[in-house]
Amino acid sequence: MATGGEKHGFRRHRPRAGQTVLSPVAVSLAPSEQIRSLAWLSDPALSELGLEEFLDELLVRVRDVLAVDTVAILLYDPETDQLVARAAKGIEEEVERGVRVPVGQGFAGRIAAERVAIFIEDVDHADILNPILRDKGIHSLLGVPLIVEGDLIGVLHVGSLTARMFDERDLAMLQAAAARAAPGIERARLVSAFEREHRVAMVLQRSLLPKRLVELTGVAAAARYLPATDEVGGDWYDIFELPRGRLGVAIGDVVGHGVRAAALMGQLRTALHAYAAEGHGPARTLELVDRFVQAMPEPAMATAAYGVLNTDTGLLTVASAGHPPPLVVRRDGVDVVDVRPAPPLGAIPYGSCTEVEVIVGPGEMVILYTDGLVERPAVPLSDSIDLLRGIVGGGHSAEEICRVAFDQLIPEGGPRDDVAIVAVENAEIPAELHMRLAADPRVLADTRRVLRRWLRAGGAGDQDTVEITLAVSEACTNAIEHAYSPAPAHLQLHASMVDGQARFVVSDAGSWRMPRGTNRGRGLKIIEAAMDEVAVDTAPSGTQIVMTRRLGR
């Protein structure tokens, strides 16, 4: 319970669960140190900063001047009548978790409702709503309202991890900081509605694009996205794994701009991904997304292209709904994929989509892009696409292609329309495989895919591929099961092909245990049945299993 009051010069208004309400105090501090501190808080240089930097700098200064452990600013949201954590030092989680406090409740809520400074000596005995303050072990708190021209705009509070009697000078300084902060915040909040919408759309757009491109051995993917300079549109791209070592690559462009286009983009991207994951091919997937758009309460339209790349065979199946044609970068040139585009999504009831198949061989790349990349005033689209073909023609990797396309096609000062490009490269298949694998069962599926791809490239038929893959996966499984734990262990897989004979070596640093029980016995049986020769070599340094099989046996 705060005993605070009198000896610190505070006047207590009315007691309430551990809180002491304080009267504002006049700033009448003589010691030169305090004056310097206050001058520091009202440094004119702060005015030059943007809101983020301004709050950041202000909080750091408040923390240092008052020698506290935490400082936070909560801003008032009139729509919900809540305070929202906006900036913090020491308890950044408050902002990260978007802490909201109803006005009138708890520590900050009461400061806002009653527009008074409140001091809490012991958080454990007070009415605190924000669990983070307790979790972080805050002991004492002091907070003041942020007021501009009579309107409450938020709350500024400081906290100490140890018991602390904040005194009159502390309060005076916090009030000075609040007086300095409030107009700056208000000014920054008075951004035009247009700017705010732009920012919201941008955040939405960013949050809806993939955070990380799929990591699939045998393919390399790269992508770029840039929103229009003055108005965010609804471009999107997506890359996702599908069953049987296939990769889905999608790109789209929602007609319209701003928050609505960005939100619609998010819906279409999700719908496309969901239909694709159901196993529908590219044409049917786009038809289903079209039906989804048709069923929306408000008219909407978008173009999109969607392709499925079989990473085993390099077969790309692709369909388009009113979207510019994909390109395939080959060793000797750049092909425009001749896919007849269906009407844009949402344009015509029951639009029908067709798909085409092209091979994207090892070392070749497929490129999808939005019209913002190629469209130029008064230039026919086919000429613009030829320009893009010329630019990407020299590219050696998906990453390089995205980079040069953006470097050379984005005009000075930024694009007028959203721009997106995604490139997927079917990687070269090496003559010999050397894989270092973590001793973790989750590596098995990916290892099998790499192996199947390598086997097909080496001329293995279906039966060879199925049986060899089984045997090698069993050998890896055995090494994983017997890996030394708990230290991270690895195993090596080496595969080579000489005169139609495939040879595999799986080695680990563990000791081979003769399979026990019927379960592991079956694994070894499979290996022996699938291979021509099997040798297990156990040495103190580790175990090696060597397997060979003649293709087409």
Residues binding another protein (CB under 8 A): 240-244, 441-442, 444-445, 448, 466-467, 469-471, 473-474, 477, 480-481, 518-520, 522-523, 525-526, 529-530
In the complex, what is the shortest distance from the CB of residue 499 to another protein, in angstroms, rounded to a whole number?
25
Output the DSSP codes for 337-395. P-PPPBPPBTTSTT----EEEEE--TTEEEEEE-HHHH--TTS-HHHHHHHHHHHHTT-
Smaller CB separation from another protein, 210 or 363: 210
Of 482, 383, 386, 500, give the one whose Cα is nearest residue 439.
482
Q: Least separation, in Å, of the C-beta of 423 and another protein?
A: 21
Give the nearest distance from C-beta 312 to another protein in angstroms.
12
374: tokens are 């190629």
Amino acid at 499: D
- CB nearer to another protein: pick between 241 and 399: 241
Q: Which residues are within 8 A (CB) of 104 and not within 5 positions of it... i.e. 6 or more apart? A: 110, 112, 113
Residue 265 CB, nearest approach to another protein (Å): 23
Q: Are 326 and 335 in contact (CB under 8 A)?
A: no
Do 316 and 294 touch, CB atoms closer than 8 A?
A: no
Peptide bond into 299 cis (omega under 30): no
Instruction: State whether residue 300 is helix, strand or coil.
Output: coil
Residue nearer to another protein on the CB measure, 283 or 524: 524
Element (H, E) at 518: helix 517-530
Closest separation in Å from C-beta 192 to another protein: 44
Among residues 485 and 518, whose Cβ is nearest to another protein? Answer: 518
The tokens describing 431, both together, are: 């003559």
Q: Which is nearer to another protein, 65 or 216 (CB)?
A: 216
Nearer to another protein, 125 or 525 (CB): 525
Q: How far is the CB of 531 from another protein (least distance, A)?
A: 10
Based on CB atoms, which residue is closest to another protein, 170 or 474?
Answer: 474
Between 14 and 442, whose beta carbon lies closer to another protein? 442
- The distance of closest approach from Cβ of residue 215 to another protein in the complex, given in angstroms and rounded to an integer, is 11
Instruction: Name the region of 460 (left: φ>0; alpha: ψ -120 to 50; beta: rest).
Output: beta
Which amino acid is it at 463? Q
The Cα 197–Cα 40 span in angstroms is 35
Residue 515, C-beta contacts closer than 8 angstroms, at least 6 positions apart: 478, 521, 523, 524
Residue 240: both structure tokens together: 């996702």
Instruction: Find out whether 420 and 372 touch, Cβ atoms under 8 Å.
Output: yes
Instruction: Using the minimum distance from each CB to another protein, give the nearer residue, 243 or 297.
Output: 243
- For 211, phi and psi rounded to 5 degrees? -75, -30
CB of 78 to another protein, least distance (A): 45
Cβ–Cβ under 8 Å, residues 251 and 420: yes
Q: Give min distance, CB of 471 to another protein, in A.
A: 8
Contact 296, 275 (CB under 8 A): no
Q: How far is the CB of 221 from another protein (least distance, A)?
A: 14
Nearer to another protein, 181 or 471 (CB): 471
Q: Is 544 helix (H, G, I), strand (E, B) or coil?
A: strand
Measured CA to CA, the distance from residue 192 to residue 263 in angstroms comes to: 21
